Chain A
Amino acid sequence: MAERKKKDRDFEKLADSVKLTKPGATRAPARLKARVYSALMLAEAAHGKLRDMAETKKAGRELCAFEELVRMAPVNRKLKSANICRLCHARVLAEMLEKPPIYWPHCPYAEFKKG
């Protein structure tokens, strides 16, 4: 029992003195953030309608150019709540590339690559 505790203590000391990751936080890859966001949007959309574009804007959050177009267009409410990122090439690029060539403002996928 005492011997086992001693062996435990050796390894406890080692674990206390050696952190297995480099000091400082490890940055997550941008494409991981894109994948996580896409997965969450799918889960949220499966659970019910997403908050529509107008309400999102009213809550003080900026829309990307495409979302803004959908917000202003004379289309039904269902489309204004749709997960339109699903149809956007920015999502596909961001899920596959660490630095996707997408630059328009307020696109979450473009924001993720900034870190």
Chain B
Amino acid sequence: MTAPGTRPEPEPDPLLPARPAREQDERLADAVLARDRKATAEFVARYTDRIYSYICSCLAPNTGHAEDLVQEVFLAAWKGLSSFQGESTLEAWLLGIARHKIQDYYRVRLREPEPLDDDFAEREEIILMPEQERQMDERRMRERTLRVLAELPEQYRLVLQWRYWEKCPALEMAERTGKSEKAIERLLARARDQFRRKWQDG
């Protein structure tokens, strides 16, 4: 029941961050834009773990470039911070920038010439996860997947991660890399085949 003379409280938009969090984010963004050194330190302290964690998950098992990418995300965020309108949380906004940086990383590497794989013929049978392997505990599955990915040529590893872990459609990958969709499908087929072989060998 609303008291007379007062406006009813509007229904909160579920897509928007809660008001206190939004106000806190906007205040922090404003202070960073005002080039306040302590606000900048808070910005870094608050969000670096999350961005680093996300980038590592996209690059695993080879996380050698993760630190450089994190730095690029924050520098891009500083350049674009004036466009932050509080429509999402600051963390979600930064993760959006991180996602673009990761896609750029994949794109540049997938533009390089493909590795040679003369005896390629993608296997027909499904050999990825027989029942007993399905029952492998999560930790062992993760370790095995990381090991197999680490053994693949970089392009194969990245194309699989971009397509399946980042859930990017092949058509979009083609558009971003300037390759044809067929070329991406071919690269994916080779990558899947090598993954399967190494999975079976292991």
Residues on A lying within 8 angstroms of B by beta carbon are: 3-4, 6-7, 10-15, 17-22, 25-29, 32-33, 35-37, 39-41, 43-45, 47-51, 55-56, 59, 61-63, 83, 85, 106, 108, 111-112, 115
Contact = CB atoms under 8 A, between A and B. Distances in A.
Interface in B137-167: 138, 141-142, 145-146, 149, 160-161, 163-165, 167
10 contacts: A10-B126, A11-B160, A11-B195, A22-B142, A28-B48, A39-B75, A44-B35, A44-B40, A44-B78, A111-B45
Contact of B38 (A25, A35, A39, A108): A108
Interface in B165-189: 165, 167, 185, 189
Given A21-B56, A51-B36, A56-B38, A40 B75 contact: yes
A15 to B, nearest CB: 4
Given A11-B163, A15-B165, A49-B35, A40 B44 contact: yes
B77 to A, nearest CB: 9
Interface string B26-62: 0000010011111111011100111111001110110
A108 to B, nearest CB: 3
Given A7-B122, A28-B52, A39-B74, A18 B142 contact: yes
Interface residues of B, number: 51
A92 B41 CA distance: 16
Contacts of A11: 128, 160, 163-164, 192, 195
Contacts, number: 143
A37 B141 CA distance: 37
B70 interface: yes
Chain A contact residues: helix, strand, loop or mixed: helix
Contact of B40 (A28, A41, A48, A112): A41
B70 A36 contact: yes
B92 interface: no
Contacts of B36: 50-51, 55-56, 59, 61
B23 interface: no
A63 B126 CA distance: 62
B38 A32 contact: no
A10 B38 contact: no
Given A20-B57, A36-B44, A44-B40, 5 more contacts: A3-B124, A20-B145, A20-B149, A28-B52, A43-B78
A75 to B, nearest CB: 17
Contact of B48 (A4, A33, A83): A33
Given A20-B145, A62-B38, A27 B49 contact: yes
